[in-house]
Chains A and B, each alone.
Chain A
Amino acid sequence: MTKRRTIAIGCFGAVLTCLAAGCASTGVEVWERDILARPEMQVDHRAHDQAIDDHIYFSKEASSGGRGGSGGGCGCN
């Protein structure tokens, strides 16, 4: 388990480093944000439905989390 976590942290760190190193040239200018401003392009666009989905899957499966949401404990798993 420790080895798997080390690999995952290493991969995550590599992704961050690559993206950060390239981020000076990755991205858009302020005047290029027309599409990114659309409601369906917001990170939390489906927050309400995702919270319901996360609770259903938490109740019926052994895994949880990752997306960062929360919703209170539950006597279901």
Chain B
Amino acid sequence: MKKTSIRQALAAIAATLVGSAVAHAAGPNKTETSILVYSERQRVRATEGSFSLSKQLQNNYSLNLRLTIDGLTGATPTGGSPSKYAQTVTRASGGKTITVPAGEFPVDEYFKDTRFAAEAGISKPIGGETTISATAIGSSEHDYKSLGLSLGASRDFNRHNTTLGMTVAYSRDVINPVGGFADSYTEVGEERPDDRDSRLARFQGKVKRVGDVVVSFTQVLDRKTFLRVNYALGRSSGYHTDPYKIISAVQPADSVDPGEPTRNFYERRPDERNRNAVYAELRRHLAGATTTLSYRYFWDDWEVVSHSVDAGLAFNVSRQITASPRVRWYHQTQAKFYRTFLIEGAAFPEYASADSRLAGFSAVTAGLSVGVPVNPTSKLTLTTEYYLQRGDTSPPADYGAELPFELFPKLDVIMIRLGYAHNF
């Protein structure tokens, strides 16, 4: 232990107590309210309102509550391939047709969704070193509902410098798409059986069960630094296919019109997914600024491997105003069953999806938050972020023909968030 003078020790204790006193004059409770406007170039737009509450209750219990409402609208890629010619395609959910200009990705412009999500948790310290918690989580959209439970426990060691924690979570999701289910690999637009049993089966919800375990380790390194390392294991089983996503069959490379889409089919994904992630975060307070650096390595049995690096800095611009620039870099490899398209006349693989979210791509986020105190207990924060995704735009290497259009739909997003935090 470093030798410290009695005067220095007393000064540090006083500073801690004064700091705590200021926090407690405001109270240990907190609410955060935010509104996010999310806008993809020429694609989806969303508005999200979110409210969080953290409140101390009697007998040392703490309550954590979060409510979120999202409204989404706009045009979302169907998974179908572009064509040299204008296309008219049927929506995956049936009914309306979509007209697609030559060379452009088919998008479903009738996409509209509203989602409600709620999370309510209770935690309680036991003895001086242990904390246990339980959280119920649920969400609801017109075609997707989810309900789950998470249980956690953590224990401090080494004068509260080391914390080991574990969380176990389970959720059950039910999906019931608009227009009912179509069997995967059936052709879009094909007439579906109209007898009673077939219709009942088509509109019967399909289930996906998700289990997660997270083990976490937090260590104070010195007066200004801590390190956190997590290992997360997840397993989901049940219906993973996206019932609104299709994949095109295109003319072979040696045909008269290579790459021209001929028919569209409903995609097919495996019934199981096993996920792993290792996450490390270092946070350090230096020269009046707080820096956060984190890295996540993810891999699963769909053969997606990804790296996420996140760096943030928070500092005072003036006595009142804080600024926080952040940057995130992300890269993922494609899922093993990702295909830009199927080939007319060739046997279909066991699974296939043209959903660009399963493709190989890199993404970058750059953002800036500016915070201003409204009064001694409240703060207003404005955050602007720009997110872009870029993937391989060329046909598969084994396709053997150039095509006159790009095969990865670029994504450019602007996000603006206004937040209000209140301590009480």
**A5, B417: Cβ atoms closer than 8 Å:** no
Q: How far is the CA of A26 from the CA of B32 in the complex (A)?
A: 34
Q: How far is the CA of A39 from the CA of B373 in the complex (A)?
A: 14
**B143 contacts A by Cβ under 8 Å:** yes
From B159-167, B259-267, B397-405, give the one contacting chain A.
B159-167
User: Which residues of chain A are within 8 angstroms of B216 by Cβ–Cβ distance?
Assistant: 68
Q: Would you give the shortest CB distance from A55 to chain B, in whole angstroms? A: 8
Contact of B219 among A27, A31, A66, A71 (CB under 8 A): A27
Q: How far is the CA of A19 from the CA of B196 in the complex (A)?
A: 63
- Chain A interface category by residue count: 35 or more
What sequence of 0s and 1s flags, for each residue 204-227 of chain B, a beta carbon within 8 Å of any chain A beta carbon? 000010101011111111111011
How many A-B pairs with Cβ below 8 Å? 219
For A32, the closest partner residue in chain B by CB is B223
User: Which residues of chain A are within 8 angstroms of B150 by Cβ–Cβ distance?
Assistant: 70
**B223, A62: Cβ atoms closer than 8 Å:** no
User: Which residues of chain A are within 8 angstroms of B139 by Cβ–Cβ distance?
Assistant: 71-74
Contact of A52 among B48, B210, B219, B308 (CB under 8 A): B48
Q: How far is the CA of A29 from the CA of B3 in the complex (A)?
A: 12
From B179-187, B274-282, B339-347, give the one contacting chain A.
B274-282
What sequence of 0s and 1s flags, for each residue 187-215 of chain B, a beta carbon within 8 Å of any chain A beta carbon? 00000000000000000000010101011
CB-CB contacts below 8 Å: A16-61 with B:
16, 19-20, 23-24, 26-41, 43, 47-49, 51-52, 55-57, 60-61
Given A12-B278, A73-B148, CB of A66 within 8 Å of CB of B232: yes
**B332 contacts A by Cβ under 8 Å:** yes
Given A66-B279, A66-B296, A68-B230, CB of A34 within 8 Å of CB of B19: yes
Q: Would you give the shortest CB distance from B161 to chain A, in whole angstroms? A: 3
Q: How far is the CA of A1 from the CA of B303 in the complex (A)?
A: 8
Contact of B143 among A30, A33, A49, A75 (CB under 8 A): A75
For A40, the closest partner residue in chain B by CB is B290
B interface residues, Cβ below 8 angstroms from A:
1, 9, 12-13, 15-16, 19-20, 23, 32, 34, 36, 38, 48, 50, 52, 66, 68, 113, 115, 117-119, 135, 137-139, 141, 143-146, 148, 150, 157-159, 161-162, 165, 167, 169, 171, 173, 175, 208, 210, 212, 214-224, 226-232, 234, 242, 274-279, 283, 285, 290, 296-302, 304, 306, 308, 314, 330, 332, 335, 357-358, 363, 383, 387, 389, 411, 413, 415, 417, 419, 421
